[in-house]
Each structure stands twice: as C-alpha cells, then as structure tokens.
Copies of this chain bind each other. A is one copy, B any other.
C-alpha cells in the first residue's frame, strides 16, 4: 500500500495557537497520582484525566480548535462529521458553543444512548446504513446540502494541533517526565502528543498502547507502512479505526514503541482503575495501564505520563459484569 503524503503537517505554533483559541471552552484537566499503582508498577505515574474534560473526552480539544478556527463565513454553514463516538459528541459541543450547526452521520444501528448523547449536545443526526459505502454516500449528500465544513475525527491538522494541547498542559503540570503513554486508534491523540513533545520536550519518550484485537497501528509500526484492519472487534471501541496519512507521519517519526494488551487485560485494568482510583474511565483508556502492567521493566523507576482519554461509558453494560 502506498502511503500518501499529508497535505499540511501542523507545527508547534499551531498547537500554541490552538491552546489560546480553545482555552475558554475546555477544562484544564487535573493530573492525578495513585500510590497503589505506583507501588504496583514501581514507577511514578501521572494520570492526565481527560475523562473529566468537557463532553467527557480529549476529543473536544481538536474539535474546538477546528470549530473556532473557522472564518465567520465558513462557520455559518456549520460543521459535519461521521462518528458514533466521542468525536461526534465533542464536535456537537464545540459547534453548540459557537452557535453553529453540527451535522453528524451515524449508523442506523448505533446505540440509542449514543444518539441521545449527540442530540443532547445539539448535534443533528442523519442516519446511514452500517457500511462504509452507505456512510460515504449519506455524508456526501449531507455536505452537499449544507455546505458544512468536514472535520475528520483525527486525520485533520486542526484536530491534531488541538489534541497536542493535552500534553502541553501535562508538561506544565508535572516535572521531568521520562515518557508519556497514550492509547492509539486513528492516532489523533498520539500524533498531537508527538507534535508537542518532539518540539517542547524531545527527551520524553512516547509510547502507544493498542488492543491486541485491533493492532493495526502495532503492525503498521513494525512493517513501516500503514496496514488497515477490516472491522476489528474490541471492547476498546474508540480504538478500532486505522491510521491515516497525517497520523502515520507522526507515529512513524516519533513513537518509541507500541505495546498491545488482550481484551481480558484491558477489562482487568479498567476495573482496577475504577476500584483503586475512583474514576470512571473508558475501556480505550485502560489500554495504557494494561500494557504498563505487562511491561513493568520498561516503566520501572521512570516518571510516566498516562493519558486518560475519556470517561463516556454505558453504565448499564460494564464488561466485567455479566448482564
């Protein structure tokens, strides 16, 4: 597969500008520590809690940067995306704050709770069939009709620059980290982390964590080119999507290693985090902790930043409880 070069690669000035632009609309989320996990790993862990972020996930950073960076003229027509997850919520939230429409194309089969959450933030849902063909057709029709600006969930320089503000805050809130680890799906958060740290703290190593059952980034990283999975299945549903040209650029250039964890290990780390840290985290952001616990030798004695990416969980179906 030939990897196409991205049209525009955001730089550190884009991150600094993004931070100024979005600060009124996002939380500067806290960094928590846990003596339990420190003892368990033999390291000092610093959890950047984006589960406490507006709309419940880091994605509001990139979405807000895209929305508030639009000219007034472009903004009038609104924004549009296809997502059934946190990007849909976040873009709806950001558009709502600017007072412009947000069109979201979602599969007819998406859980009612997710549709209700998007509508709760003011998003306008157009349903498609649960196939790539239908999604692309319906999305093209919506964009044609509305003239709305497409904001991709991760393969967008405005989004990557926005996500980069998270590790900028983390560096301001901690002293002398040795490394940072974040979950990887499409690679938006990891790319933003690479962008910020490679410029502001190039000595800090960047690790990514991925479900074994959706390990396309791991295999891409080892192969040296993008490998996309066809419909992977994992409890970490935010991490099913493949890398794209822009995120591959950052991952291939700045990530030190990618670790994977089994479904059982992810669920175990998720439950343990809820139990011991008393915070609600998504399965996706339990993946870093799961990989830390099985690769303690890599992290022992280190000061480790861990990005807790989000906390939007269906409370009625928890993976460790048989319903």
A residues with a Cβ closer than 8 A to B are 30, 32, 51-52, 56, 271, 274-275, 277-281, 311, 313, 315-318, 320-323
Contacts and interface: CB of A to CB of B under 8 A. Distances in A.
A32 B56 CA distance: 15
Contacts of A320: 315-316
Contacts of A318: 315, 318, 321
A280 B274 CA distance: 7
Nearest to A272: B315
Contacts of A317: 321
A86 to B, nearest CB: 13
Contacts of A275: 280, 313, 315
Given A278-B280, A315-B320, 8 more contacts: A52-B277, A52-B278, A274-B315, A315-B321, A317-B321, A318-B318, A321-B321, A323-B323
A275 to B, nearest CB: 5
Nearest to A308: B278
B315 A271 contact: yes
Contact of A278 (B56, B271, B323): B56
27 contacts: A30-B30, A32-B52, A51-B278, A52-B277, A52-B278, A56-B278, A271-B315, A274-B280, A274-B315, A275-B315, A278-B279, A278-B280, A278-B281, A278-B311, A279-B279, A279-B280, A280-B280, A315-B320, A315-B321, A316-B321, A317-B321, A318-B318, A318-B321, A321-B321, A321-B323, A322-B323, A323-B323
Contacts of A56: 278
A156 B100 CA distance: 59
Contacts of A277: 52
Contacts of A271: 315
A202 B279 CA distance: 34
Nearest to A53: B278
A24 to B, nearest CB: 13
A322 B323 CA distance: 6
Nearest to A52: B278
Contacts of A311: 278
Contacts of A316: 320-321
The 6 A-B residue pairs whose C-beta atoms are closest, nearest first, are A278-B311, A278-B280, A51-B278, A274-B280, A275-B315, A321-B321
